Amino acid sequence: MVSAAVVFLLTISSVCGEAAARKLEYVTVVSSQSLPYRPTPREQLATRMGMQEQFGLGQFLRKRYKGFLNDFYDRHEIYIRSTDQDRTLMSAEANLAGLYPPTGHQVFKENLMWQPIPVHTVSQSEERLLSFPLGDCPRYEQLMNETKRTEEFINVTNTYQDIIELVKKKTGLNEINVESVWSVYDTLFCESRHNMSAPDWVTPDVMEKLSVLNDFSIQPPFASCQIFELYRNNDSSVSVSMFYRNDSTVEPYPLQLPGCSLDCPLDEFMRIT
């Protein structure tokens, strides 16, 4: 089974497989959205570049899980969930176009290498799976409070307080802080990618400092993904392996959960997380 989240959740299950020391049974892929296009403040559409990145991610997943995924789209095998926003829905659709190019009987128009695959949503008021920031989550609040007390967080806050105050003054966003200033950088970065003029106060020095704060935040690059692979071992035990992909030119980086091995036993994974 495979899935993807943050913008959309994609779930695929496998019902068979060859005997091996470790059998892959389930995969979760957590992916960020495509580069947005904002010609007006109200529009949030994925760009051509962003859709190409998501299409490439879909192709990567198809190649990585060849033999695990069926060659044909099967509605009993996959379920896709997206937040109810234009650019996240477009990101999911672009990803699926790369993941499931139609073949054989699924080609419904000659020379059209695309097929419609349903993407599901829930209303924002009911969204508990993909919404961010998380609301009413004690564990999330605990981790954020612990982070704010770290020496690194305090140093960054003090070092870049002048930039945060400048952003507040120029944008009128009085609630901006170290955790949320990424949203301003995100908008300015997207506009620059579309050759749109930046406000006069957005100098190269300001953008450089905002970039540092953006990297300090928890926002992943566009079309990056976190992969969780669930394996069943010969002794019937179950383990989880994690990988992070933020560059299409290299293989995903293996990740190790603090306090556990790279192939983390499922019970330990659940206890730690």
Phi, psi of 57 (to 5 degrees): -65, -40
pLDDT of the chain, 273 residues: tens digit per residue:
444 434 556 666 654 444 456 788 888 787 876 544 444 443 455 677 788 999 999 999 999 998 888 899 988 888 888 888 888 899 999 999 999 999 999 999 999 999 999 999 988 888 877 876 666 778 878 888 998 899 999 999 999 999 999 999 999 988 888 888 888 888 888 788 777 888 999 999 999 999 898 877 766 777 888 899 999 998 999 999 999 998 888 899 999 999 999 999 999 999 998
List the beta bridge partners of residue 12.
Answer: 78
* Whole-structure pTM value: 0.79
Nearest partner of 270 among 239, 232, 245, 246, judged by Cα: 239
- Rounded Cα–Cα distance for residues 32 and 35 (Å): 9
Handedness of CA 159, 160, 161, 162 (dihedral sign): positive
Tokens of 269: 């994974």
Contact criterion met (CB below 8 Å) for 156 and 213? yes
Phi, psi of 95 (to 5 degrees): -60, -45
Domain parsing of the chain, residue ranges: 138-216
Q: Return contacts of 190-193, CB within 8 angstroms, 24+ apart.
A: 190/35, 190/36, 190/37, 190/38, 190/47, 191/38, 193/35, 193/47, 193/49
Tokens of 201: 């106060």
DSSP 172: -
